[in-house]
Structure 1
Amino acid sequence: MKRLVLFLVILLPGLLWNAQAQSLKTLNKPLLEGLDQVAPFHEGLAAVRKADQWGFINTDGELVIDFRDDLVWNASPDPEALGVRAVAYPHFQDGRCMIRALGEEEIPVYGFIDTEGRTAIEPEYLNLTEFQNGNAIGVHVKKTFRGTNNFQLNIYDYSFTEVVLNPQGEAVWPLGEVQDILMKKRRYSLPPVRAKLLGNQLVAVETTPGKWEVRKIQY
């Protein structure tokens, strides 16, 4: 009898622990697993990463925007940069999240999706800031067919303008033309954004390296 009591004393804690472990496992059943990164919530959505793909969960932990490889992020962001290099992880501001696509010559172009994952602003900017108080700043590229040369190859002109845009993708204010952008992959480099939004329809523009002026956006 004593041996039976001793056996029960030894066995019962193990049974209780196993039951507790099973209960904890059931209680803590993951909604998503195998994630490499979970970003903070912005506007009710948080980005989650698997390898190089990101999706978005809502506040109930449901995956509401599936994993995709076109969301903008940087493993080593530059917080001093004005534009895509400053983005540490995908997130929504003013209902817009930045995306990346490859244009001609495999030169990256940027746009935005909405909170449903639909393209809200087509990728046609060479550099972009995130939205702030209803506006963003981007370097817009426009391609115009000029004709053909003696070898029957198409010739195009490119124009580049730094603009203020709204969440609908409309360029609401031009800030200036941008020069010296070469649209060939081997010679291309990301053009910097040279303006930043200050709020109250004010924008600071770097006119020459280290020299700024403040302007009023009127639209």
Structure 2
Amino acid sequence: MEDERLYAWGNPWFRWSVVSFVVLTVLSFLVGFVVLPSVQRDYTAGGIWASICRAAGLPANWGAGTATDKAGPLSTSVVLAPAMALPGSSDAVGRGATIALQQCSMCHGVQGMSEANAPNLAGQYPEVVIKQLEDYKHGHRIHSFMEALSSNLSDRDIADIAAYYDSVPKARTAPARYSESSAPALVRVGDPLRNIAPCIGCHGGTDHKLGAP
């Protein structure tokens, strides 16, 4: 009997609880789906229904013809050709060594083995060096120092530098070993379920270090 009176509409406590809950729900709905969307910087007035759909995450344009797909920035303008992978002539290697000594050795080392946090270039594939320098030169890869250095390089300069570093022997060291206690699994084996390669695939050993491709 007491339970029936407690949940009866005639009970003022029950009545005010229901009314308060309804009012709070309506206010929360209006604030979340109308007020907050309307004060966003990129809000365009389209009525309450547009506000509700926008707050719920629905797209503004449903039709394929009205969608405004913007192409992303161009990642590179380099077209890899088989000739890039060929060893350079002795003249190209000598000329590339002169340019590298003047402009590259301060970071990448005289023999392409860096003592700083710059990639080791000794034995690097020529097409890799060509692509990176071309990307820096044309602004497709951002690095203030490298952009400035590569801006005055001609196509022949870039090809000769690549030929020189390709001719330099790569350092040979014992492979680094990582135990389960010293390195996390993400470093050792990556995460195949998330398509993440292991960190040591690029950043382990003498010829792979910080900033290494």
Q: Which band: TM-score by shorter chain?
A: under 0.3
- In our comparison, the structure showing a higher alpha carbon Rg is 2
Comparing both structures, which one devotes a greater share of its residues to helix?
2
More strand by share: 1
Which is bigger in relative contact order (C-alpha 8 A, separation at least 6)?
2
Give the TM-score taking structure 1 as reference length. Answer: 0.24
